[in-house]
Amino acid sequence: MGKVCVIGSINMDVVMEVSRSPAAGEAIIARAVKKNPGGKGENAAIALAKLGVETAYYGCVGRDAYGDELLENLKKYPVDASRVSRSDASTGTAYIIVEESGENRMIVYAGANEAITPEDIRTICRPMIEDSELVLIQLEITREAIYEIIRLCRELGKRLVIDAGPAHGWSAADFSGAWMVSPNETELSTLVGRKLTGREEILSGARGLLKSGISHVIVKLGEMGSLYVSGDTVLDVPAYPVKAVDTVAAGDSYMAGLCKCLSEGMEIKPAMEYASKCGAVAVTRTGAVSSLPSAEDIARFDMFQIQE
């Protein structure tokens, strides 16, 4: 089994459960408010570890109470987080509204995540990357750090998987040289600079990413499944029917399942099918880290499915 290196954000999530999101100027009553560890980087690293993957993680927290809590939480999982940095900036925080339908809206304060520098990537992360079969990143750290990760993976001949969210301010050309980029439908529209509607337009957008020097593209389409494009190969993988209660971290769970399989040398279609199961289990539970499936959950996946 190959080791996976994750470099990315770590946040404290403040989750508000509501029947629906408020309109402009409207105040509504939350049913519950919860505080959970999160951040796309930490979520993915813990998800990989729960799936049985040897995982090394690098991120940055503040020298504050949230930072203390997040570092203590990481100790609960078999993740090598020994290199995580601390900054004078406040720990990153995400404010999440979760509707009764399971849909969510999120406002993120980056905080200490923006303290990660290209020098940190060259000095702290290089040994982690060299020792890994696969590298997974997201877009919640600084642009300069991400460019350095892309450059370093190219120099070392390492497969880099970019979970392309949040995509605001990015374009397909920014990821030239990456082995794989995986946006959702909205993120893909942002990367190609136009609104995409329907499968053919999404397929066209994915092919546009390939033209920018990216080798493989997987578009995450929620309940519509996922779409893979590379060269002349196109694969559609359907989603699994489950009762969704909270979509927070579903994409992180999908990416962890995908990277687990790819690090083990699995072919792309069964890897996407496994990843879809991981994402499906996550939406049946509330929270970020608390929703992430274990290898045992996936082995007994039938119990999560809606039987038709």
| Catalytically active residues, by annotation | 252
Sheet holding 159-163, edge to edge: 79-80, 55-58, 4-7, 134-137, 159-163, 180-182, 216-220, 226-230, 233-237
Residue type for position 96: I
Residues sharing a CB contact under 8 Å with residue 207, sequence separation 6 or more, in sequence order: 217, 229
Q: How wide is the angle at C-alpha 272 spanned by C-alphas 270 and 277, nearest 5°?
A: 95
CA atoms within 13 A on the CB side of 39: 35
**Partners of 75 in beta bridges:** none
**Partners of residue 229 on adjacent β-strands:** 217, 234
- Assess contact for 10 and 72: CB atoms under 8 A: no
> Strand 180-182 vs strand 159-163: parallel, antiparallel, or unpaired?
parallel
**Is 137 within 8 Å of 159 (Cβ atoms)?**
no
Tokens coding 53:
């993957």
